[in-house]
Amino acid sequence: MRWWGWGEDGHEVAMPEPAAAILRDELGTDESMRRRPVALEEVRLPEPRLSAAARERLAGAVGADHVRDDRGIRVAHAAGRSYPDLVRLRSGDGSSAPDAVVLPGSAEDVAAVLAACAEQRVAVVPFGGGTSVVGGVEPVSDGFGGAVSIDLHRLDRVVSIDNMSLTATLEAGLSGPQIESALAAEGLTLGHFPQSFEYSTVGGWVATRSAGQASTGYGRIDELVEGLWFVAPAGEVGARPLPASAAGPDLRELLVGSEGVLGVICDVTVRVRRAPDARRYEGWWFRSFAEGCEAFRVMEQADASPDVARVSDEEESRFSLAFASANSVVERLGRAYLRARGRESGCVAIVGFEGDADDVERRRVRTGALLRAGGGVALGRRPGDLWLRNRYAAPYLRDELLDRGLLVDTLETAATWSGLDGVYRAAIDALRSTLADRGTPPLVMCHVSHLYRSGASLYFTFLARQEDDALAQWRAAKQAASDGIVAAGGTITHHHAVGRDHARWMRAEVGEMGLELIRAAKERLDPAGIMNPGKLLPSE
Amino acid sequence: MRWWGWGEDGHEVAMPEPAAAILRDELGTDESMRRRPVALEEVRLPEPRLSAAARERLAGAVGADHVRDDRGIRVAHAAGRSYPDLVRLRSGDGSSAPDAVVLPGSAEDVAAVLAACAEQRVAVVPFGGGTSVVGGVEPVSDGFGGAVSIDLHRLDRVVSIDNMSLTATLEAGLSGPQIESALAAEGLTLGHFPQSFEYSTVGGWVATRSAGQASTGYGRIDELVEGLWFVAPAGEVGARPLPASAAGPDLRELLVGSEGVLGVICDVTVRVRRAPDARRYEGWWFRSFAEGCEAFRVMEQADASPDVARVSDEEESRFSLAFASANSVVERLGRAYLRARGRESGCVAIVGFEGDADDVERRRVRTGALLRAGGGVALGRRPGDLWLRNRYAAPYLRDELLDRGLLVDTLETAATWSGLDGVYRAAIDALRSTLADRGTPPLVMCHVSHLYRSGASLYFTFLARQEDDALAQWRAAKQAASDGIVAAGGTITHHHAVGRDHARWMRAEVGEMGLELIRAAKERLDPAGIMNPGKLLPSE
């Protein structure tokens, strides 16, 4: 992965003129704002602070070859991939880099690293794909004798696959493509496709309670975890792979979502499915976001949801259409639809079905009837196929937008159906008024992308002209939107996790006694407090 | 509820002669073994031990009228409804009775009761329907200044129903019939039907991580809990009703299944569904239990499971048939089926569909095709309707079997599909050999009753002639079966919970560090250690 952005070189996303026109005309960007990241050699890194004793203990734990502190690896582990992370990295700020990166090869190695760090009071950041967008992997070392990232990529074995029970035990460092490739060889799939799929790891998914683009159908990662093996400084916890149990509190759910502050997920047993024979993705249009949401609610509550279900609001539909003009068919379809109805706007939805061919067809017909009854108009397969082809493209596009001097970030939440509109309006209003007041009126877009019988998620994207103090501008927008979401009854995060950026809203989320319960678990598992400091829990 | 057994008078279950013949010929029972419970007046109760100060504090918390210690109420709260509970009660052993029963009317009352008990070092047992079969509600007061049961029946309000989000907020003391009746008035259902449905409460279901007979379709109670309000001695914890969240560990799952040892569940927000227009229950036959289980696995993994799915092994099928002879049609169907195939045995299955009429028919056709392909033969609706009519009858029958001098108990577990047969054989062999060695060869029966993509539950019933020391006999059988289940990789409980009877297997279930995590939560929520002592956690 490029140290200052997303992915590898050669995946640059072209900006079609209609989209560039929106940025220029509505946000006020111009070519003079173009900027590029500094060179790697120019990144300012602090001197490594690990004591000789600490380095020696770490080398003893994993071998000297697996304790690294060269410039490239330190910068690559200095931050996740959030907007503020990239703003800082592109400007050459590597102040948060770890003092070293440790690469264990087994759960035993992980235990040895944690023992060494607890003894030497070195902070530890578990690091999978490093794709956190909430500051989850940025080392925080105040009060410690340094910080190390424990990079889990060497934990990359497929431990076992149970074809009869449809489960697979995977080491934590396996990435999305590695997992799907190993499962495909057995005719299986996990079906977990977050936007970070190409780089993120199963350990990271479980640590952050991830949802994927197809989680409406395949289930969130927390629903897919059957068991796990967890190594903490104070010892090990195993949640045995079981389909269900009534044996007390579900401790698995205390470790899922623990974001590295309790320990390190070393392997996970996940529930898998037979790989689909058929895939069918379609576009639909609705007259308004409200109409689309209501149709989706009826569909979900009739147990008729597709595997992928997303509906964009008017602004996101307009921007998507401007983008899709590169693909003239979709643009023509959209414009034709609008013209035929004498209207200028509408909302695009994507529904996707995966399974055996008969099953896909049966579900598609039933779902289609409900969407049509809810006011939807079918646009056929082309918009669906286009979405599928570009499903991981947004983070690449973000690099292009950063190059153009834009603030670009996303926020996500979930709420009950009856609360959804209130949360939607609260976030939109907060972003618009905060950024307009600063003289940088934004473009704010939203879609619903995960359906539950009782509610849905909302995913916001906002763009604005970048101020000189880009981080202050971002912090103001983030704070206002998060306050608005929480006050309106939404969760502070539906799938990005808490990390550093959402920690201050955790008190509102789980209450004081809820925080106490997490702290009680932390004190028991991590008595020295070395695990991922500054994340998940608000400062006391 | 009758203090010595199940339900109210007038629901006695008749014992058809073919079933009586099995008990007589195979287990060696005879009419001389008939016994009846002692009279209520003969039950031996300890003197109430609450200090005057404690009584005064409790009366101050809930009003003097709601602190009761008459014989009837103490005996009714002395135990749950397990076999050993009933053996002791029927013999007049009321030694475990609480010193008083406290009836709070609100969450504030509950907090006041807990504060009083913490101050006075009085043990507290949360009590809903009192139907625990694992010793979950039996007061344990060693080391305390007495024990009170906190009976939650006055917490019986339907707080709110959200028709759009399909959720309902229910106070903890509402019973199954109260809940379904309130929801039916809105065209809704929760769909949670444990065998104890008529008496058990939503608070009890959530505290014990209950599964109902239709949980294959409607989901286990832990999947139906959207939020809850929990009162502990140290304070209150609210899990906000949200469809999903990635905000850290799921603390809701730490409180669900906490069995009264952390605090008291005061209200619960549950996910509900539209009440079904149509119900269709059918019987099926398979040549063997293995064939039936395999057909069910294929059905479940094709996402084609009915809402109720159960398949009995050969012994349970034989005993059910003997019972069903009261209903001649089912018996004739069964015998005709067997004769036509020149075989003496087979396995009966029940599948049940609920929903709108089209949906039921569509699912029934698809499921039927898979079951037929798996070797099943359809027996039509009569066996299904009979099962539905008698779905809550087993605990009434147990009273009749106790009258006849029988040991009768049930055990349940869950395992992955690949481990299911091993766990099945381990439990059956342990029960058969242990009881045969004691000179009381048992009848051991089993069914699969909850399906998951990765596995299923097994539910065992065992009958034997009662020894003079009925409790020693039961303990030996229980210990052997539980050891066998856990050694073979099954969970110690799939839906009965842990209580007192399964606590010793919790170390095997969650490991030493898992126990430490539960203890850490308990120390934080219940620093005085008054909440339901002796339950869930093994003695240290």
> What is the per-residue pLDDT across B392-446, written as a single tens digit (0 to 9) for each?
988 999 999 999 999 999 999 999 999 999 999 999 999 999 999 999 999 999 9
The yes-or-no verdict on residue A327 having pLDDT over 70 is no
Considering only the beta carbons, identify the residue of B245, B450, B509 that sits closest to A247: B509
Quickly count: other Cβ atoms within 10 Å of residue A191's Cβ.
23
* Partner A, chain B 449-488, Cβ-Cβ below 8 Å: 450, 452-457
Please state, rounded to an integer, the average pLDDT across all residues of chain B. Answer: 95
In whole angstroms, what is the distance from residue A445 CA to residue A316 CA?
5
pLDDT band at A495 (very low <50, low <70, confident <90, very high): very high
Please judge whether B454 and A167 are an interchain contact, meaning their C-beta atoms are less than 8 angstroms apart: yes
Considering only the beta carbons, identify the residue of B244, B454, B493 that sits closest to A247: B493
The yes-or-no verdict on residue A344 having pLDDT over 70 is no
Please identify which residue in the block is written with the tokens 């955790």. A506
Burial class, A366, CB count within 10 angstroms (exposed 0-12 / middle 13-18 / buried 19+) = middle
The string of DSSP letters for B429-491 reads: HHHHHHHHHTT-PPEEEEEEEEEETTEEEEEEEEEEEPPSSHHHHHHHHHHHHHHHHHHTT--
Q: How far is A229 from chain B (nearest CA, A)?
A: 11
Please judge whether A513 and B416 are an interchain contact, meaning their C-beta atoms are less than 8 angstroms apart: no
Nearest CA in chain B to A276: B302
Q: How far is A43 from chain B (nearest CA, A)?
A: 33
Q: Which residues fall within 8 angstroms of residue B476, CB to CB, at 6 or more apart?
A: B434, B435, B438
Helix (H) or strand (E) holding A55: helix A52-62
A509 touches chain B (CB under 8 A): yes
Mutation for A interface: B196, B218, B242, B262, most A CBs within 10 A: B242
Q: What's the Rg (C-alpha) of chain A? A: 23
Considering only the beta carbons, identify the residue of A244, A249, A516 that sits closest to B414: A244
A446 touches chain B (CB under 8 A): no
Please judge whether B248 and A258 are an interchain contact, meaning their C-beta atoms are less than 8 angstroms apart: yes
Tens digits of per-residue pLDDT, A216-241?
999 999 999 999 999 999 999 998 89
Q: How far is B191 from chain A (nearest CA, A)?
A: 14
Tens digits of per-residue pLDDT, A78-127?
999 999 999 999 999 999 999 999 999 999 999 999 999 999 999 999 99
ipTM of the complex, rounded to two decimals: 0.96
pLDDT given for residue A7 in this prediction:
86
Q: How far is B38 from chain A (nearest CA, A)?
A: 34
Considering only the beta carbons, identify the residue of B247, B303, B457 that sits closest to A491: B247
Residue A284's φ and ψ, nearest 5 degrees, are -135, 155
All residues of chain B having their beta carbon less than 8 Å from the beta carbon of residue A274 are: 301
A160 touches chain B (CB under 8 A): no
pLDDT given for residue A11 in this prediction:
76
Please judge whether B514 and A237 are an interchain contact, meaning their C-beta atoms are less than 8 angstroms apart: yes
Helix (H) or strand (E) holding A409: strand A406-416
Q: Give the per-residue SS3 of A415-483.
A: EEHHHHHHHHHHHHHHHHHHHHHCCCCCEEEEEEEEEECCEEEEEEEEEEECCCCHHHHHHHHHHHHHH
* Six token digits for residue B502: 């399964």
Determine the average pLDDT of the residues in A294-305: 97
In whole angstroms, what is the distance from residue A81 CA to residue A133 CA?
5
Nearest CA in chain A to B236: A513
Please judge whether B248 and A511 are an interchain contact, meaning their C-beta atoms are less than 8 angstroms apart: no
pLDDT given for residue A87 in this prediction:
98
Residue A417's φ and ψ, nearest 5 degrees, are -55, -40
Please identify which residue in the block is written with the tokens 């989901």. B219
Tens digits of per-residue pLDDT, A454-487?
999 999 999 999 999 999 999 999 999 999 999 9
Contact B148, B100 (CB under 8 A): yes
Contact B224, B271 (CB under 8 A): yes
Q: How far is B153 from chain A (nearest CA, A)?
A: 23
Please identify which residue in the block is written with the tokens 């646009």. A379
pLDDT band at B474 (very low <50, low <70, confident <90, very high): very high
All residues of chain B having their beta carbon less than 8 Å from the beta carbon of residue A165 are: 416-419, 454-455
Q: How far is A404 from chain B (nearest CA, A)?
A: 32
Burial class, B247, CB count within 10 angstroms (exposed 0-12 / middle 13-18 / buried 19+) = buried
The yes-or-no verdict on residue A417 having pLDDT over 60 is yes
A419 touches chain B (CB under 8 A): yes
The string of DSSP letters for B323-366 reads: HHTTSHHHHHHHHHHHHHTT-S--EEEEEEEEESHHHHHHHHHH
Q: Give the per-residue SS3 of A262-321.
A: CCEEEEEEEECEECCCEEEEEEEEECCHHHHHHHHHHHHHCCCCCCEEEEECHHHHHHHH
Q: How far is A266 from chain B (nearest CA, A)?
A: 16
pLDDT given for residue B12 in this prediction:
77
In whole angstroms, what is the distance from residue B17 CA to residue A97 CA?
80
Tens digits of per-residue pLDDT, B60-107?
999 999 999 999 999 999 999 999 999 999 999 999 999 999 999 999
All residues of chain B having their beta carbon less than 8 Å from the beta carbon of residue A271 are: 453-454
The string of DSSP letters for B120-174 reads: HT-EEEEESS---SSSTT----TTSS-EEEEE-TT---EEEEETTTTEEEEETT-
Burial class, B146, CB count within 10 angstroms (exposed 0-12 / middle 13-18 / buried 19+) = buried
**Nearest 5°: CA angle at A363, between A358 and A366?**
130
Tens digits of per-residue pLDDT, B138-159?
999 889 999 999 999 999 999 9
* Partner B, chain A 355-394, Cβ-Cβ below 8 Å: 359
Q: How far is B408 from chain A (nearest CA, A)?
A: 22
In whole angstroms, what is the distance from residue A34 CA to residue A337 CA?
36
The string of DSSP letters for B275-327 reads: PPSEEEEEEEEESSHHHHHHHHHHHHHTT---SEEEEE-HHHHHHHHHHHTTS
Please judge whether A166 and B241 are an interchain contact, meaning their C-beta atoms are less than 8 angstroms apart: no
Angstrom CA distances, A540 to A515, A516, B250, B397, stand at 10, 11, 21, 57
Contact B530, B242 (CB under 8 A): no
Which of A187-191, A388-392, B241-245 bottoms out in mean pLDDT, i.e. has the lowest? Answer: A388-392
Considering only the beta carbons, identify the residue of A247, A271, A519 that sits closest to B492: A247
Tens digits of per-residue pLDDT, B327-354?
555 556 666 666 666 556 799 999 999 9
Determine the average pLDDT of the residues in A169-193: 98
* Six token digits for residue B227: 């939020």
In whole angstroms, what is the distance from residue B397 CA to residue B403 CA?
10
